[in-house]
Structure 1
Amino acid sequence: MENFALIFSAIFIGYILSKSDSFSKETPLILNQFILYISAPALILLKIPQLSFSIDTLIPVFIAWSVMSISAIAIFYLSKLFSFTKEVTGSLMLVAVLGNTSYLGIPMVSAYFGEDALGYVVMYDQLGSFIALSTYGTFISVYYSSTKDVDIRALFLKILSFPPFIALVVALFFMGTSFHPVIQSVLSSLASTIVPLALVAVGLQLRFRLPKEDMKPFSIALGVKLIFAPLVAIFICALFGWESEAALVSIMESSMAPMITAAAVASMAGLAPRLSSAIVGYGILLSFATTWIFYHLIT
């Protein structure tokens, strides 16, 4: 309940602040920069070393990548079908594909399945969503924000220099080990800033009245993320005959709202910032209803 209260409160605070002159128009950009360069890398360095591989826990990873891949293909072709601009397409390729599988996933899965199921959340999130953010997310942000032909070498260098990706590479070398308590404490403190800062940034950019031209991509993004993605996960589980708790948790994870950090990446790259924030903001609110529906559908 406390997590849900923070989500609503932070977005509301950001929205109220956007109506005043207390903060500059650059505030969301600054907050997003802090998240990408400090908060997200700290979270990755904190969580990845705590993971361990096992056959049973690979189901969430497989479902995560399958759902994201199929969703990305769907968004790509829908964007072509409706002739969306390059910026809008890039935005949707981020926020309609990458899910908020940690900060919404953890409290929701805990509420529905109990804390014993959270190990599957970590696998889905850390080896699925976060790696996708560091690699796929970087590629999409660079490719769709470029005004000329993409230099593959330059793109590769940008991926290698992307702070979350650097943190991921470093963290993989420390899997199964523990940092010194002082380092652990510092990383924990920095990582904890990602939720309130990101949610306030979303609130600062949230607009309840979207321009008419944004309604179509807005609806498609939320339709793919909140409805199509979990249906894909359900199909995959049925195809392989998976009925375990790992499979059920994976379906729930696939139904989470768009990833907040994905909107930050989109905003930083100039990929329809207003639309990206609206998709995330409204997506978070709508996901409370859609996840409830899917939970009762699969149990």
Structure 2
Amino acid sequence: MDSLFVAVSCLLFGVLLRRLGRLPEGADRTISGVVIQLSAPAVCFIAARNMPISAEMLLPASMAWIIFAGGLAFFGLAKRLFGLTRETFGCLMLTTALSNVVFIGLPMIEAFFGHELVYVAFLCDSPGTSLVLAIPGVLLAAHLSPFERREGGPAKQVWLALKRVFSFPPFQALVLGLALRGVVLPDWLLKGLGHIGMTLVPLSLFSVGLGLALKPPKGAGRPLALGLAYKLVLAPLLMLGVIVFGFGNTGPVAQVAVFEAAMPPMVLGGILATDNGLDPKLASLLVSVGTPLAFLTLPLWRWVLAGL
């Protein structure tokens, strides 16, 4: 309960300070940078050293690929039924067919499942969400973008996206932590990294709160409803069906994989949609409305998973 209190209060405090104008413009991006460069790598390094290595790890690693494929089917059908534009279809895919597994997922896992399962978020991210965004996500954005094809074409864009994945500090910390699993490190170093990692939950949710800009949907009601219905309800339902009927596994790691599928729309996916002219206003709405709404749906999903 104390972790949940920290998560909710930091998010709301960020929203409050944004409305009061107490911090300079762009403060949310600065704090996000601190989380990515300092807090998350410390947590990731410790998690990589301590997490169990087993075939069960394939569950969280496959989560992003499963819900992205489900999004293709769901939004493809919605495109035909409701006449969605190419730009709106691409926006929905890049934001709501991918989960915010780091900035929201990490603190929410700690709050609802405990610190010992935080490592599952990194398994959902590095081989999952980041690669889905970097490869099929970038290819889809390049294909649907109304802008002229960028120099080098989609192949170059995929390569640049992959470079960003491999240079992502939490990913590098994960690889380093795995490489040093058998090496005895001094207690002061591990404890120090643990203390640095404790800043992850408050800073990440504070930065998310600072970045939220809730606005009423102007003519975007249907795609907004479709996107949030898939992201917050249908995507975790799909993942739940896969882990129960496909893998026959309802253990803690499998439950966290479903829980990560229920996270709000992906911020980086929204940025990619915006950069490619894929309904930028809808992308902003999906993130801004979906994030606080997830704070209502995530406790319900935790209740459902507790009954498995």
Work out whether the TM-score is over 0.5.
Answer: yes
In the superposition, relative to structure 1, how do residues 197 and 213 fare at CA in structure 2: closer, same or farther (>3 Å)?
A: farther
Deviation at 1:257, TM superposition (A): 2.6
Once residues 197 and 206 of structure 2 are traced to their aligned partners in structure 1, the CA distance between those partners, rounded to angstroms, is 16
* Cα shift readout 1:215-274 (whole Å, capped 9, x = no counterpart): 444433432233223322332344257365447635753564338xx43x3476574455
Structure 1 stretch displaced more, 99-108 or 199-208: 99-108
In the superposition, relative to structure 1, how do residues 245 and 76 fare at CA in structure 2: closer, same or farther (>3 Å)?
A: closer
In the superposition, relative to structure 1, how do residues 85 and 171 fare at CA in structure 2: closer, same or farther (>3 Å)?
A: same
Q: What is the aligned partner in structure 2 of residue 115 from structure 1?
A: none
Deviation at 1:138, TM superposition (A): 4.7
In structure 2, stretches of 5+ residues that fail to align are 275-282
Q: Tell me, yes or no, if structure 1 residue 15 matches structure 2 residue 15.
A: yes
TM-score normalised according to structure 1 size: 0.76
Q: What is the aligned partner in structure 2 of residue 62 from structure 1?
A: 58
In the superposition, relative to structure 1, how do residues 27 and 270 fare at CA in structure 2: closer, same or farther (>3 Å)?
A: farther
Deviation at 1:23, TM superposition (A): 1.2
Once residues 241 and 45 of structure 1 are traced to their aligned partners in structure 2, the CA distance between those partners, rounded to angstroms, is 28
Q: Tell me, yes or no, if structure 1 residue 276 matches structure 2 residue 272.
A: no
* Cα shift readout 1:43-69 (whole Å, capped 9, x = no counterpart): 211211112324xxx33x333244422
1:39·1:194 contact (CA, 8 Å) conserved in 2? yes
1:67·1:229 contact (CA, 8 Å) conserved in 2? no
In the superposition, relative to structure 1, how do residues 172 and 88 fare at CA in structure 2: closer, same or farther (>3 Å)?
A: same
Deviation at 1:106, TM superposition (A): 3.3
In the superposition, relative to structure 1, how do residues 23 and 269 fare at CA in structure 2: closer, same or farther (>3 Å)?
A: farther
Q: What is the aligned partner in structure 1 of residue 190 from structure 2?
A: 184
Match of 1:175 among 176, 181, 194: 181
Deviation at 1:9, TM superposition (A): 0.7
In the superposition, relative to structure 1, how do residues 233 and 73 fare at CA in structure 2: closer, same or farther (>3 Å)?
A: closer
1:90·1:140 contact (CA, 8 Å) conserved in 2? no
Q: What is the aligned partner in structure 2 of residue 103 from structure 1?
A: 107
Once residues 227 and 289 of structure 2 are traced to their aligned partners in structure 1, the CA distance between those partners, rounded to angstroms, is 11
Query: Is the partner of 2:98 in helix, strand or coil?
Result: helix
In structure 1, stretches of 5+ residues that fail to align are 111-117
What is the aligned-residue identity percentage? 19
Q: Tell me, yes or no, if structure 1 residue 291 matches structure 2 residue 302.
A: yes
1:226·1:290 contact (CA, 8 Å) conserved in 2? no
Deviation at 1:19, TM superposition (A): 1.1
Once residues 176 and 258 of structure 1 are traced to their aligned partners in structure 2, the CA distance between those partners, rounded to angstroms, is 36
Match of 1:205 among 188, 203, 211: 211
Query: Is the partner of 1:22 in helix, strand or coil?
Result: coil
Match of 1:220 among 210, 219, 226: 226
Match of 1:165 among 171, 174, 186: 171
Query: Is the partner of 2:52 in helix, strand or coil?
Result: coil
TM-score normalised according to structure 2 size: 0.74
